C-alpha cells in the first residue's frame, strides 16, 4: 500500500507527520524493546514542530503506531483538557486524518500519557505510550553512560538500592514519589516516567502493551503485556503506594465524585482548606455518571 | 594447608610494547621504562602462591609494581599476560579467562580490597553504613533490618563509633576511613583480602591500632591476605612470607624472617639496612 494514500488532498504532511522511513525505524525500535523487556533501545529521534520536553518522544511512538481506524486519547497530569494534552491531540487530529480522538479510556485503542496511567484497567486491545523525560534510572548514581550500560547488562542495581537504604535511614521510609525504579521481567530496572507510585503496580502483568518514549535522550523501552514489573524494595520494607487516609484514618474521597479508591490531587480552596479530587478526569466523570444513575433509580 | 591463590607469569605493560621491552627494563636495566617504545613495564613475570589464612607481603620501592599486582588480581586492571587461579572451597576459577560479570561476582562476593586512598574504596557521598550496605546488596542480601544490623556489627568490629554509622565518610579522620574500608571489605566474609598501603600516611599510633585490627581479623576469620607496603615494619608485623619487587620484577621471595634477617639480593640488603 502506498503510504501517501492516506493523504487527503491539500494536506502537506505525510499521514502521521513523520515520513514512512522514520516511522519504520521507530517501529523497529519498538519491536526490539518488546523483545527485551525494560531494555532502553536507542533510536534516531526526529525533530518535531514543538520543543523537546513537550512529549515529542511519546508523540513519535504514537504517530508511528497510529493506523487509520485508531481511537486516540491524550492525557497530561491525568487530564484530557490541560493545554499540553489539547495541543498534542490537535496535532494528531491534524496530521492523521481519519483518526478519531476521545477522552474516554474505555473507548480508545491508543493512549499517549504523561504523569498518569488511567484508573480504569487497560485491555489487551489497547496500547499505552508514556512520555519520559529521563529514561535511565541509574543516572542518579552513575554519570557515565558506558558504565551504566554495563551495570544494566549485569543487572547491577546495588547502588540504586543503597539510595533506598539511605532514604529509610534518613526518613524511616522510601520517599521516592515519582519515577519509582522498577525491575522488569526480573532483569532491567526502568524509570517508569513521572507516574506516581500509585500507578506502578499497574505496570505489573498489564493486559495492555506499555511503551516508553524519551525524545531528548532518544530511547524507547517497553513493558510487554503480562510481564512482571517489581518496584525495587527490601524484603522487610515493602513498596507502598500513596496513603490517602485523613487524620482519623479514613480514606479520603474525591470531593466531586465521591470515589475512595482513586489517586487524588490536593487543592487548596479559596477559604484555605484542603480538598481532594480524582486526578484521572475521565475516571471522575465515569464515577459521577454512575452515581447519578444509581441515585436516579428507586431504592 | 590449602592453596587459595596461584599466580603465574603475571605481567602488565602500559603502552604499545615492543620486542625489546623486556630486555630493556628490570632491575639490571635500572628502569621500568622501555627506551625503545616508551612503554612502562609495570610488572613482568610475577609468580607466587598464597595459602589459606596466610598473609603474604609485597614490598619494594615506589613504582616497583606492588599496586599493579593487586589491581590486576582484583580486576581493577586487566593484565597483559599471565595466569591466576583462585581456589574457593571445591571450586576453582581461572581469573583472567572469566567474563566481566563473573569477575564482578568474585570481586563482590569472594574478594575484598582496601586501598591506600579511601576515595577509591569508599563512596564519599553515601554514609559509612551505606557503603557497607552497598556491598551487602551486591551479594543479594535484600532485608533492610539484616543489612543494617550487619553494617553496625562490622563497624563495631572495626572500632568505628556506632553513632557515626549514618555520617558521610568524607568527614572522618584518615584512620577511621581505613576502618570503614576494612569493614566494607569484610562485609561478605571473603576468604581473600587485598590491602594496598592501608596505613601509609597515618599517624604512628593510628597505624599500630589498624595493624592490630588486621592481625586480629586474620586470626578470627582465617582470611588470606596480600599486603602491599613499602614499610618494612608492616611487613615484619603482619606477614609470614614476602616477595621483594624492583622495577616490576620479583627479585627475592621467601619467609619474611629470613628475608629481613638474611637478605640474599643486594638490593634487599640495602633496603633492610636502610630501614634499621
Ligand atoms: N595507568 C597507568 N598508566 C601508565 N603507567 C602506570 C599506570 N599505573 C601505574 N603505572 C606505572 O607502573 C609502574 C608501577 O606502578 P605501581 O603503582 O604498581 O607501583 P607501586 O609499587 O605500587 O608504587 P607506590 O609505592 O608509589 O604505590 C609505575 O612506574 C607507574 O608509574
Ligand atoms: Mg602503590
Ligand atoms: Zn472523582
Ligand atoms: Zn618497548
Ligand 1: which residue has its CA nearest to atom 4? B14
Whole-angstrom distance, CA of residue A237 vs CA of residue A89:
41
Rounded to 5°, angle at Cα A281 from A124 and A272: 150
- Ligand 1 pocket member B175 (CB < 6 A): no
Distance of CA A208 to the CA centre of its chain: 12
Query: Minimal CA–CA distance to B225: which of B267, B190, B187?
Result: B190
Whether residue B122 lies inside any domain: the answer is no
Domain ranges of chain A: 2-231, 244-299
Beta strands in A67-168 (DSSP E): 71-76, 100-101, 110-114, 127-131
Chain B residues within 8 angstroms (CB to CB) of chain A: 100-101, 104, 123, 126-127, 129-130, 133-135, 137-138, 142-148, 166
Distance B42 CA to ligand 4 centre (A): 12
**Per-residue model confidence (pLDDT) at position B82:** 97
Whether residue B120 lies inside any domain: the answer is no
pLDDT band at B92 (very low <50, low <70, confident <90, very high): very high
pLDDT band at A64 (very low <50, low <70, confident <90, very high): very high
Query: Minimal CA–CA distance to A221: which of A253, A252, A183?
Result: A183
**Per-residue model confidence (pLDDT) at position A9:** 45
Residues of A carrying an active site annotation: 38, 254, 257, 278, 284
Q: Say if residues A209 and A62 touch (Cβ distance below 8 Å).
A: no
Helices (H), chain B: 66-73, 100-109, 118-121, 128-138, 144-157, 174-186, 204-221, 232-238, 256-261, 266-275
In tens, the pLDDT along B193-211 reads: 999 999 988 888 888 988 9
**Per-residue model confidence (pLDDT) at position A2:** 40
Q: Say if residues A213 and A60 touch (Cβ distance below 8 Å).
A: yes
In tens, the pLDDT along A211-235 reads: 999 988 899 999 999 999 999 999 9
Asked if B138 lies within 8 A of A166 by C-beta distance, the reply is no
Range of the domain at B241: 3-110+192-197+223-275
- Burial of B202 (C-beta count, 10 Å sphere; 0-12/13-18/19+): middle
- Give the residue from chain B lying closest to A154, CA to CA: B101
pLDDT band at A6 (very low <50, low <70, confident <90, very high): very low
List of residues 6+ apart from B243 with CB closer than 8 A: B46, B48, B56, B57, B58, B59, B250, B252, B253
pTM (predicted TM-score): 0.86
In tens, the pLDDT along B131-148 reads: 999 999 987 788 999 999
A247 touches chain B (CB under 8 A): no
Rounded mean pLDDT, A139-151: 94
Provide the ipTM: 0.85
Relative orientation angle of helices B128-138 and B100-109, to the nearest 10 degrees: 130
Distance B131 CA to ligand 1 centre (A): 27
Where residue B254 sits, what CATH number does that domain have?
3.40.50.300
In tens, the pLDDT along A251-281 reads: 999 999 999 999 999 999 889 899 999 999 9
Distance of CA A146 to the CA centre of its chain: 27
A154 touches chain B (CB under 8 A): yes
Asked if A154 lies within 8 A of B104 by C-beta distance, the reply is yes
Residue B236 has pLDDT above 90, yes or no: yes
Whether residue B32 lies inside any domain: the answer is yes
Total domains present in chain B:
1
Cβ neighbours of B148 in A, within 8 Å? 169
Architecture of domain A2-231: 3-Layer(aba) Sandwich (3.40)
Query: Minimal CA–CA distance to A213: which of A52, A36, A61?
Result: A61
In tens, the pLDDT along A45-59 reads: 888 877 666 778 889
Which residue from A161, A169, A234 is facing B166, i.e. has the nearest CB? Answer: A169
Asked if A169 lies within 8 A of B129 by C-beta distance, the reply is yes
Rounded mean pLDDT, B47-66: 95
Which residue from B101, B138, B144 is facing A158, i.e. has the nearest CB? Answer: B138
pLDDT band at B276 (very low <50, low <70, confident <90, very high): low
DSSP H/E element including B6:
strand B3-14
Q: Say if residues B68 and B77 touch (Cβ distance below 8 Å).
A: yes
DSSP H/E element including B245:
strand B241-246
In tens, the pLDDT along B95-144 reads: 999 998 899 999 999 999 999 999 999 999 999 999 999 999 987 788 99
**Per-residue model confidence (pLDDT) at position A1:** 39
**What are the residues whose beta carbon lies below 5 Å from ligand 2 (ion)?**
B 67
Which residue from A150, A156, A162 is facing B126, i.e. has the nearest CB? Answer: A162
Distance of CA A49 to the CA centre of its chain: 22
**Per-residue model confidence (pLDDT) at position B201:** 84
Amino acid at each position: 500500500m502506498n503510504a501517501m494514500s492516506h493523504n487527503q488532498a491539500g494536506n502537506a504532511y505525510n499521514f502521521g507527520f513523520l515520513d514512512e522511513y522514520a516511522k519504520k525505524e521507530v517501529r523497529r525500535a519498538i519491536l526490539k524493546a518488546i523483545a527485551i523487556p525494560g531494555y532502553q533501545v536507542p533510536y534516531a529521534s526526529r525533530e518535531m514542530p514543538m520543543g523537546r520536553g513537550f512529549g515529542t518522544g511519546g508523540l513519535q511512538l504514537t504517530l508511528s503506531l497510529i493506523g487509520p481506524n485508531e481511537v486516540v486519547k491524550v492525557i497530561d497530569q491525568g487530564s484530557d483538557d490541560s493545554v499540553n494534552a489539547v495541543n498534542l491531540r490537535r496535532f494528531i487530529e491534524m496530521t492523521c486524518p481519519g483518526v478519531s480522538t476521545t477522552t474516554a479510556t474505555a473507548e480508545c485503542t491508543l493512549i499517549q500519557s504523561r504523569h498518569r496511567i488511567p484508573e480504569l484497567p487497560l485491555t489487551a486491545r489497547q496500547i499505552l505510550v508514556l512520555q519520559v523525560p529521563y529514561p535511565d534510572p541509574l543516572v542518579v548514581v552513575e554519570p557515565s553512560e558506558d558504565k551504566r550500560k554495563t551495570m544494566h547488562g549485569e543487572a547491577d542495581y546495588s547502588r540504586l538500592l543503597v539510595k533506598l537504604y539511605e532514604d529509610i535511614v534518613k526518613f524511616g521510609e522510601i520517599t521516592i514519589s515519582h519515577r519509582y525504579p522498577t525491575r522488569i521481567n526480573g532483569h532491567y530496572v526502568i524509570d517508569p516516567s513521572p507516574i506516581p507510585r500509585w500507578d506502578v503496580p499497574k505496570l505489573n502483568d498489564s493486559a495492555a502493551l506499555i511503551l516508553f518514549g524519551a525524545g531528548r535522550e532518544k530511547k524507547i523501552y517497553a513493558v510487554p503485556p503480562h510481564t512482571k514489573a517489581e518496584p525495587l524494595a527490601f524484603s522487610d520494607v515493602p513498596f507502598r503506594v500513596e496513603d490517602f487516609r485523613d487524620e482519623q484514618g479514613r480514606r479520603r474521597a474525591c470531593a466531586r465524585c465521591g470515589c475512595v479508591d482513586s489517586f487524588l490531587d490536593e487543592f487548596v480552596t479559596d477559604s484555605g482548606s484542603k480538598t481532594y479530587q480524582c486526578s484521572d478526569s475521565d475516571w471522575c466523570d465515569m464515577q459521577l455518571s454512575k452515581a447519578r444513575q444509581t441515585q436516579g433509580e428507586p431504592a | 594447608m590449602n592453596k587459595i591463590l596461584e599466580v603465574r607469569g603475571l605481567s602488565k605493560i602500559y603502552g604499545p610494547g615492543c620486542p625489546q621491552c623486556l630486555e630493556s627494563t628490570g632491575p639490571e636495566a635500572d628502569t621500568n621504562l622501555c627506551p625503545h617504545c616508551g612503554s612502562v613495564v609495570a610488572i613482568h613475570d610475577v609468580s607466587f602462591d598464597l595459602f589459606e589464612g596466610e598473609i603474604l607481603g609485597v614490598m619494594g620501592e615506589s613504582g616497583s609494581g606492588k599496586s599493579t599486582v593487586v589491581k590486576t588480581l582484583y580486576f581493577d586492571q586487566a593484565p597483559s599476560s599471565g595466569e591466576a587461579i583462585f581456589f574457593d572451597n571445591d571450586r576453582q576459577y581461572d581469573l583472567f579467562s572469566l567474563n566481566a560479570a563473573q569477575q564482578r561476582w568474585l570481586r563482590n562476593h569472594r574478594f575484598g580490597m582496601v586501598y591506600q586512598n579511601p576515595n577509591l574504596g569508599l563512596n564519599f557521598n553515601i554514609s559509612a553504613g551505606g557503603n557497607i550496605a552497598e556491598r551487602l546488596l551486591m551479594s543479594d542480601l535484600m532485608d533492610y533490618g539484616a543489612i543494617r544490623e550487619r553494617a553496625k556489627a562490622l563497624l563495631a568490629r572495626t572500632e568505628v563509633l556506632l553513632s557515626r554509622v549514618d555520617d558521610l565518610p568524607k568527614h572522618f579522620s584518615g584512620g577511621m576511613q581505613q576502618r570503614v574500608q576494612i569493614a566494607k571489605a569484610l562485609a561478605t566474609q571473603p576468604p581473600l583480602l587485598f590491602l594496598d598501603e592501608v596505613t601509609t600516611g597515618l599517624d604512628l599510633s593510628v597505624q599500630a591500632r589498624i595493624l592490630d585490627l588486621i592481625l586480629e581479623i586474620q586470626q578470627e576469620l582465617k582470611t588470606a591476605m596480600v599486603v602491599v607496603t613499602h614499610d618494612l615494619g608492616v611487613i615484619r608485623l603482619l606477614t609470614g612470607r614476602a616477595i621483594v619487587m624492583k622495577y616490576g620484577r620479583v627479585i627475592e621471595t621467601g619467609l619474611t624472617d629470613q628475608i629481613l634477617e638474611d637478605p640474599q639480593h643486594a638490593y634487599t640488603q640495602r633496603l633492610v639496612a636502610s630501614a634499621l
